[in-house]
Amino acid sequence: LGWLTSMDRDSWADARSELLRTGGFKMEEALSVLESGAFVVCLDNEVPASRNQCAMQFLTGGLGSGYNRWFDKSIQLICTANGKAGLLGEHSMMDGMPMVGFADHIAKSTYKDAETKFALNPAEDDFTGGVSDIFENCTSDLQSSDSQVASLIDNAKLHFSKLVTDHEITVQSFQAYGSNYIKKAGYSPDAYVQVAIQLATYRLWGKQAGTYEATQVRPFLHGRTETTRSVSLEGEAFVKQMGLRPKHDENDESIRSEKLELLHNAVTGHVKYIGKAAKAMGVDRHFFGLSMMVADGESVPSLYSHPLFVRSKRWRVSTSHLTHPKFDNWGYGEVFPDGVGLSYAIKADSCVFSITTLKENGWTDRLSHLLEEALMEMRTLNDLNKPLVSKL
Q: Is the pLDDT of residue 232 over 50?
A: yes
Sign, CA torsion 339/344/349/350: negative
Q: Which helix (H) or strand (E) holds 84?
A: none
**What pLDDT does 391 receive?**
46
Q: Kind and range of the H or E element at 344?
A: strand 340-346
Which amino acid makes up residue 94? M
Q: In which order are the strands placed within the sheet that holds 75-79?
A: 40-43, 75-79, 85-89
Going across the sheet that includes 167-174, the strands are 167-174, 351-358, 340-346, 317-321, 211-216, 225-229
Q: What is the mean pLDDT of residues 52-81?
A: 95
Q: Which DSSP category does 220 fall into?
A: S
Q: With 90 as the cut, is the pLDDT of residue 343 above it? A: yes
Percent of the chain's residues with pLDDT above 70: 96
Predicted confidence at residue 389, as pLDDT, reads: 46
Per-residue model confidence as pLDDT tens digits over 94-144: 888 888 889 899 888 888 988 888 787 766 656 666 788 899 888 888 888
**pLDDT class of 292 with cuts at 50, 70, 90:** very high
Alpha-carbon dihedral sign for residues 249, 252, 258, 264: positive
Buried b (16+ CB within 10 A) or exposed e, 174-203: beebbbebbeebebbbbbbbbbbbbbbbbb
Report the C-alpha gap between 150 and 49 in whole angstroms: 34
Mean pLDDT of 293-302: 93
Q: What is the pLDDT of residue 123?
A: 63
Q: Which amino acid does the sequence have at 190?
A: D
Count Cβ atoms below 10 Å from residue 253 Cβ, excluding itself: 10
The predicted model gives 381-391 an average pLDDT of: 71
What predicted TM-score, i.e. pTM, was given to this entire model?
Answer: 0.92
Residue 385: the pLDDT is 87
Q: What does the pLDDT average to over 254-267?
A: 97
